[in-house]
Amino acid sequence: MADAGPSSGHGDQRKFRGRGISTYFSPKFFIASLFCLSWMCVSSALIMLNKWILSEEGFDYPILLASLGMLFSSIVSAVLIHGFHAEKPREDIDIEFWTTKILPIGLFSALCMATGNIPYMYLSVSYIQILKALSPVFTLIVLSLFGLEKPTLRLVFAVLIIAVGTGVAAVGEIQFSWFGTILMIVSEILEAMKLALMQQLLGSKQLSSLHGTYYLCPATFLWLTVGVCFMEMHRFIGNDGISLMVLKPHMYLLAASLGVGVNYLSVGVIKNASSLWLKVLGQVKNAALVYGSTIIFGNIVTA
């Protein structure tokens, strides 16, 4: 596994600016591109599968579903580090650092995943991807507040166009829900906060993608477990939700496995490119998902 150095501050933004054509043939650019392309493919597959499980299979437990990927990611990264010795645990990250620096990121991540999964029960995939076009807006604002991105006039103008376009596209949505829409916007704001904190952490501690997964995923899983206990466990037990998982275990194992891929690859994208690049690439992915959802789920996208 290869990583391309820290991604904090303005330095990571300069990886893709003004270094001539040789930049596009460098190993760093190739690694970053590979992470980006892989993340787009795997995360798209996970979104479509989660939507199917929640809406078509009637698995009415979005927080529990989100926690599967984090649980598997925690297990896989621990096995790779402690079992196969792929990398050594970091000596500079003790329980105090994990509690004060990483656990808060896990909280933002868990809240983001919970509020981001629930809307799939109320909104179409296509409409959710349209709303996600606002992500660069929130990400730019938060990164600017954290001093990780210096907004230019051209960048602000582009972000404003995205915001206006999203509002126009949302007006004609047929399957509309205020509850789902507000939750999705809240999720995007929480994700922007999480990405900014992750970018600071990965840059300051020089964490590899595996280390990032190893330390971050258990923190997120811990908070998701709290959410499941308070919000879904009583319904899951009362409605015999486990029977749905036993009926089609391969579907939930696939969702958990894709979650491992998304968690590892997203850390890689943030480390080798930046948080803002992650959101910009997400818009390309969202466009493909809008088209795919019209085929798989029969969503109607109005002009």
Instruction: Dump pLDDT digits (tens) for 101-117.
Output: 999 999 999 999 999 98
Average pLDDT of the segment spanning 45-62: 92
- Is the pLDDT reported for residue 172 higher than 70? no
**Long-range Cβ contacts of 279-282 (<8 Å, 24+ apart):** 279/135, 279/136, 279/139, 279/195, 280/136, 281/36, 281/39, 281/40, 282/40, 282/132, 282/135
* pLDDT band at residue 10 using 50, 70 and 90 as cut-offs: very low
Q: Is the per-residue pLDDT at 18 higher than 80?
A: no
SS3 state of residue 76: helix
User: Average of pLDDT values for 81-101?
Assistant: 93
Total-model pTM? 0.78
Q: Is the pLDDT of residue 119 over 50?
A: yes
As given in the structure block, the two tokens for residue 89 are 């645990």
- Residue 115 CA from chain centroid, whole number: 12
Going from the C-alpha of 140 to that of each of 91, 156, 275, the distances in angstroms are 33, 9, 9
CB atoms within 10 A of CB 138: 21
Q: Return d(Cα 66, Cα 179) in angstroms, integer.
A: 19
Of 23-32, 54-63, 211-220, least confident by mean pLDDT is 23-32
pLDDT of residue 280: 67
Decide: 109 and 194 in contact? Cβ < 8 Å: yes
Q: What is the pLDDT of residues 178-235, one digit of tens each?
A: 899 899 999 999 999 998 998 888 878 888 889 999 999 999 999 999 999 999 999 9
Whose CA is closest to 89, among 260, 8, 197, 210? 210
> Any long-range contacts for 55-58 (C-beta under 8 Å, 24+ apart)?
55/120, 55/121, 55/297, 57/244, 57/248, 57/251, 58/244
Q: Which two tokens stand for residue 197?
A: 């904190």
Alpha helices for 79-177 (secondary structure H)? 95-97, 103-117, 125-131, 135-145, 153-171
Q: Are 223 and 111 in contact (CB under 8 A)?
A: yes
In the chain, % of residues over pLDDT 70: 77
Residue tagged 């929130």 (tokens) = 138
d(CA 295, CA 272): 34
Instruction: Give yes or no for residue 289 having a pLDDT over 70.
Output: no
Q: Which residue, 18, 3, 207, 176, is CA-closest to 101?
A: 207
Dihedral sign, Cα of residue 251, residue 257, residue 258, residue 262 = positive
**pLDDT value at residue 175:** 67
Q: Would you state the pLDDT for residue 140?
A: 83
Q: Residue 170 and residue 223: Cα distance in Å, rounded?
A: 32
The rounded mean pLDDT for the chain is 82
